Amino acid sequence: MIIIHITVTRGAPEEQLQKIVIIANGVIGDREFCRRQIRKGDYLICVDGGLHHALAMGLRPHLVVGDGDSLDADLYRELERLSPEFLQYPEINQEESDLELALNHAVTLGFKEIVIFGALGGERADHGFINYLLLLIPLKKGIRARIIDGRQEIQLMDRVLEVEGRAGDYLSLFSLTPRVTGVVTEGLKYSLHRETLYFASTRGLSNQFSDSLARLSIESGLLLVIKIDQSIN
């Protein structure tokens, strides 16, 4: 694959970078919530037209990744003005989605956490589904990655995980492999003690936080973990 790699040196930021924030070109219902999650020291990647969301929140990306098909003339002018690094992959023969390209690059940057906005899919269930599975890219590198919006938080786990919440928040666990063995949970209303969860079973649906922290561990398999914040209507 040919990559058009445009680099404009901005100089190293004064603050120490914290985590990677990826803003995808999907639906962001609550931009103010999104903006509050982004810290001064975060490394910001916009996925193609996700640049529009960043600009609306007054954010300046470090990097833009994609084929450019969602960038209109106004956004290209903003690219020139802000001068982020731009990894442009030609649309022709592109086998990976823009978010997949962004994640493949993000895992090479040395951060331990990735937060993704605008990737739930909106009216495109197919986009949301594959975006959940793309979280496997950072998981394989030992990097924690989450897709979040104002109410939901989605991540994958293959060993141990801690999830913050409030009493009453929902936490659902779904096996993405034929079975997930040795499931142990703490801080949830219905505890699991070295149990097995099976693919396409509702056994892990709609558990609830009994405390402010849920601790999860498994022995084998892959879990999809979805938290629903009940304090937001």
How large is the average pLDDT for residues 57-74?
Answer: 87
Rounded mean pLDDT, 101-113: 96
**What angle do helix axes 98-106 and 125-134 make, rounded to 10 degrees?**
20
| CA 188 – CA 170 distance, rounded (Å) | 9
pLDDT, residue 27, reads 92
Q: 145 or 70: which carries more pLDDT confidence? A: 145
SS3 103: helix
pTM here is: 0.89
Please, which residues have CB within 8 angstroms of residue 66's CB and are 6 or more apart in sequence?
25, 47, 48, 49, 87, 88, 89, 98, 101, 102
- Assign 94 a pLDDT band (cuts: 50, 70, 90): low
Average pLDDT over residues 93-116: 92
Q: Are the C-beta atoms of residues 51 and 33 closer than 8 Å to each other?
A: no
Please determine, for residue 91, whether its predicted confidence score (pLDDT) is greater than 80.
no
Instruction: Give the up-direction half-sphere exposure of residue 36: CA atoms within 13 A in the CB hemisphere.
Output: 7
Taking only the tens place, the pLDDT of each residue in 29-57 is 899 999 999 998 899 999 988 999 999 99
Residue from 57, 55, 58, 65 nearest 22 by CA = 65
Give me the sign of the Cα torsion angle 83, 84, 90, 91. negative
The pLDDT of residue 112 = 95
pLDDT, position 4: 36
pLDDT at 191 over 70: yes
> How far is 221 from 215, CA to CA, in rounded Å?
17
Mean pLDDT, the chain, integer? 89
Q: pLDDT for 120-176, tens place per residue? A: 988 899 999 999 999 999 999 999 999 999 899 999 999 999 999 999 999 999 999
* pLDDT over 50 at 16, yes or no: yes
- What is the tens place of the pLDDT at every residue in 192-209? 999 999 999 999 999 999
pLDDT confidence of residue 2: 33
